[in-house]
Structure 1
Amino acid sequence: MRIARIAVDGRALHVRADGDGWVPIDDPYAALAAGTPVVDAGERVDGRDATLLAPAVPTVLVGIAQNRGADPEPPLPVQAWLKSPRGVVPHGAAVRVRRDAGRVVAEAEVAVVIGRDTGDPTETLVTAANAQEFVLGVTAVNDLSYPDRAVLDVRNFESKGGDGSTPLGPWIDTEAPIDDLVLRLEVDGEVVRDTSAQAMPVPVRESIAYVAGWLRLGPGDVIMAGAPRSNHEVAAGSTVSVVVGGLRLETPLR
């Protein structure tokens, strides 16, 4: 199922895709927690009457550091870092590139959307074997970064923060495998990176277990699993497309 969030008449709705339109649904996170199917909850909305929002509203947004399949690699497991959820923008939203931060790099990554409470980290409830049970689905994310700032900013506050730094979407694919996904980065329609989630030294499910072992996660929280040779320098005036499996996230840069 493709689950999105849309705005209609000033209301934000969870919906499932239905051709070129959307069907409102009950809370998909509550359904996952209860182990019940997602239920329709309203009349179909024509796509022309809706505004697509970011598919999740994370309270916690986690990035996985250095999970890119390039030398040198840090000791495993890789470390995680926190990114401001306020930087999340939806598919199609234009992002203004900072002119005072040096180069800007786009990074195509798998975004895992947590579907239910992962519980007390000290109890080790989430493992690599059962990680999929805590996931609503996957979406695409563009981790826009300013690598020149990383020299002075080892915690990624400047290099990966700011308005529009995390384009996310366009929807959540609840059936996509979390570990075996095509990853592609395009700039103005040209493929500049073509890889897969399998190229990451740490599988996505192991990253989920690692994060949940230190931090309690809840419905709608997002883990960005890393960029396996899927980053490329970009510039204002370009349109960046991140392809994750059957998802395509587009972000115009201005």
Structure 2
Amino acid sequence: MKLARFLKDGLIKFGIVEGENITEIEGSIFNNFKKTPITHKLNLVKLLVPCEPSKIIAIGLNYKAHAAEFNKPLPEEPMLFMKPSTAVIGPGDEIIYPHHMSRRVDYEGELGVVIGKKAYMVKKEEAKDYILGYTCFNDVTARDLQGKDIQYTRAKGFDTFAPMGPWIETDLNPLDVKIETYSNDEKKQDTSTKDMIFDVYHLLSFVSHVMTLLPGDVIATGTPSGVGKMKPGDKVEIRIAGIGSLVNTVSSRQ
């Protein structure tokens, strides 16, 4: 099931995407909800970021090939950093290039995990029960600042540096799903989540032993090899099998 958040006639609504249509729902996507008889054509609504996380917990160096391309040793445990909620944008929104501070901004295609209920000290074997679903995520990074600052807050935290969407897919096997990233329609990243060092369930359990995860929070599970730079005017697309496609363009608008 594909759960979407969208704008129609000036109102924000939630719905279920079915083919070329979206059917409105009543209730919260995190609790009991039901379909209504109200249906819209998908191309006649504005898709929004599918949830509003209180925080985004991202994972560094979670694919062996990505660690190798940066000459980094493999981590012995998940490497965590955070992106602010103010970085979040949805499908079709612009990624703003921060020319005032950075000269190198990269795309990083990732699988995003959307938390479905409050999670604290969760066992790995129970982690699946705390997941609402999955979405496409672009961990946009000011690469020059990442190297300069050592820690990642500034490099990862600019406004618009967390595109996600287009919706939340609730029925997906996160242990073996294909992730692709395209820059101006040229394939740049192509791998499967089976190549992760720490799988989705391990990550959720690990993070929940550090901090409480709330409904709507997102874990960005790390990017594979093939990251690369973006420039104003570029189109970046993250495709994840079973979910769909997240497309954003890069702008120099401040």
TM normalised by structure 2 equals 0.90
Find out whether 1:216 has 2:217 as its counterpart. Answer: no
Find out whether 1:44 has 2:45 as its counterpart. Answer: no
- What secondary structure is seen at the aligned counterpart in 2 of 1:40? strand
* Distance of 1:243 and 1:18 partners within structure 2: 18
Give the Å deviation of 1:155.
Answer: 2.4
Letter aligned with residue 59 of structure 2: I
* Distance of 1:92 and 1:98 partners within structure 2: 19
Find out whether 1:11 has 2:11 as its counterpart. Answer: yes
Find out whether 1:237 has 2:217 as its counterpart. Answer: no
User: How big is each residue's C-alpha offset from its partner over 1:184-234, in whole Å with a ceiling of 9 and x where there is no partner?
Assistant: 111111111111111121112111111011111111110000012142222
- What secondary structure is seen at the aligned counterpart in 1 of 2:202? helix
Task: Please list every run of at least 4 consecutive aligned residues from structure 1 whose deviation after the TM superposition is greater than 6 angstroms.
Answer: none
Equivalent position of 2:128 in the other structure: 132
Equivalent position of 1:114 in the other structure: 115
- What secondary structure is seen at the aligned counterpart in 2 of 1:44? strand
Give the Å deviation of 1:91.
Answer: 0.7
Letter aligned with residue 9 of structure 2: D
Letter aligned with residue 129 of structure 2: E
- RMSD between aligned residues: 1.5
User: How big is each residue's C-alpha offset from its partner over 1:110-132, in whole Å with a ceiling of 9 and x where there is no partner?
Assistant: 0000001114xxxx3x1221211
Equivalent position of 2:92 in the other structure: 92
Equivalent position of 1:146 in the other structure: 142
* Distance of 2:231 and 2:154 partners within structure 1: 18
User: How big is each residue's C-alpha offset from its partner over 1:154-208, in whole Å with a ceiling of 9 and x where there is no partner?
Assistant: 2212111111101100011100112211011111111111111111211121111
Contact 1:108 1:230 in 2 (8 A): no
Contact 1:195 1:230 in 2 (8 A): no
Equivalent position of 1:185 in the other structure: 181
* Distance of 1:210 and 1:48 partners within structure 2: 39
Letter aligned with residue 253 of structure 1: V
* Distance of 1:251 and 1:30 partners within structure 2: 30
Contact 2:61 2:75 in 1 (8 A): no
Equivalent position of 1:34 in the other structure: none
- Unpaired runs of 5+ in structure 1? 32-37
Contact 2:116 2:132 in 1 (8 A): yes
Task: Determine which structure has the larger strand proportion and give its number.
Answer: 2
* Distance of 1:147 and 1:48 partners within structure 2: 35
- What secondary structure is seen at the aligned counterpart in 2 of 1:39? strand
Equivalent position of 2:161 in the other structure: 165
* Distance of 1:183 and 1:18 partners within structure 2: 22
TM normalised by structure 1 equals 0.90
Contact 1:67 1:200 in 2 (8 A): yes
> Residue 53 of structure 1 is aligned with which of 44, 48, 52?
48
Equivalent position of 2:58 in the other structure: 63
* Distance of 1:169 and 1:211 partners within structure 2: 22
* Distance of 1:59 and 1:29 partners within structure 2: 14
Aligned-residue sequence identity (percent) comes to: 26
- What secondary structure is seen at the aligned counterpart in 2 of 1:132? helix
